[in-house]
Amino acid sequence: MAGKIFLNGKWVDRADAVISVFDHGLLYGDGVFEGIRSYGGRIFRLAGHIERLYDSARAIRLTIPYDPAALSGHVKASVRENALKDAYIRLVVTRGVGDLGLDPDKCPTPSVFIIAGTIALYPREYYEKGLDIVTVPTRRNVPEALNGRIKSLNYLNNILAKIEGKLAGCVEALMLTDSGFVCECTGDNIFGIRHGRLFTPPTYLGALKGITRDVVMGLAGSRGLKVEEVPFTRHELFTAEEVFLTGTAAEIVPVTKIDGRPIGSGAPGVHTRGLMAEFEKLVHREGEDAYAV
């Protein structure tokens, strides 16, 4: 991938986009990030991603060395610098360079980088037939230890679950809370539909407050679905009429089998397909134009 990467205020070539081995983002996963998309040169829900990044940073007492407007400007510029229309943008803020101890106060300057590239889309088949997912033994972090609301660089919990999902032959895996409630997938939020209710786990259980999750909850009313954020177990998914996942990269992807149980009819349901179509329209209608400067 050619193009320019934003690194601490400079636009550098990929080969020059390097971070110190003493950066606490690398040594300890001490940092925060966002995965953002642009469609046709328009950045979808940029303000929401920026707000979540600053919230994550505030929660770990990390001061981002730009104000939100300036950082949004750099995100837009990353799309332009790489002459992209449909892009996946990774925005990262690390604690910066320190010594080998944990102390974040020994890291005076956070590192900020933005990588914009083309997006590797899931195969069409996943959207047409739906995903087959499994519940993995690795439980989602308890929020009292590491709150899932913080989109931190510390993704080992999710990676362990991803490994277990892949070993079971699945591209996504369902993670439960320590007490056995449905939480989320390794990189996606989860929803079920039954009897006109659209239900998803509350974020206090440890799930990320997904941007796509918020969008879907906003679209539900137009389909006559009542949104409920409630704790539930796998049973509610096994007996749901429809299940789907949401995420910036995946968008809305139907789930048609969980732990060997076909969901509903075993094919993507009418509401899921309707929401996918609404979402598709929305991403092309909304968004901040990266090229309007």
Ligand X SMILES: Cc1ncc(COP(=O)(O)O)c(C=O)c1O
- Contact between 78 and ligand X (CB under 6 A)? no
Indicate whether 189 belongs to the interface with ligand X (CB under 6 A): yes
CB of 208 to ligand X, least distance (A): 4
- Nearest residue to 203 (alpha-carbon basis) of 252, 151, 143, 247: 143
> Does 73 interact with ligand X (rule: CB under 6 A)?
no
Which of 53, 68, 48, 57 minimizes the C-alpha distance to 217?
A: 48
**Under rule CB under 6 A, residue 202 binds ligand X:** no
Asked if residue 157 binds ligand X (CB under 6 A), the reply is: no
Instruction: Answer for the pair 30, 150: CB distance below 8 angstroms, yes or no.
Output: no
Pairing of strands 182-185, 173-176: antiparallel
Q: Does 152 bind ligand X (CB under 6 A)?
A: no
Site string for ligand X, 239-268 (x = CB under 6 A): -------xxx--------------------
Please name the residues in contact with 279: beta carbons below 8 A apart, sequence gap of 6 or more: 212, 215, 216, 219, 251, 252
Smallest separation, CB 190 to ligand X (Å): 9
Of the candidate residues 27, 60, 75, 208, the single one contacting ligand X (CB under 6 A): 208
Cβ-based nearer residue to ligand X, 107 or 208: 208
| Pattern 30-69, ligand X, x by CB under 6 A | -----x----------------------------------
> Nearest to residue 246, comparing CAs of 33, 45, 29?
45
Q: Is 106 a catalytic residue?
A: no
Phi and psi dihedrals of 263, rounded to 5?
A: -95, 130
Sequence-ordered list of residues with C-beta below 8 angstroms from that of 237, at least 6 positions apart, any chain = 174, 182, 190, 192, 243, 258, 263
Tell how far CA 169 is from the center of its chain.
22
Contact residues for ligand X (CB under 6 A)? Answer: 35, 158, 184, 187-189, 208, 210-213, 246-248
**Would you name the residues annotated as active-site residues?**
151
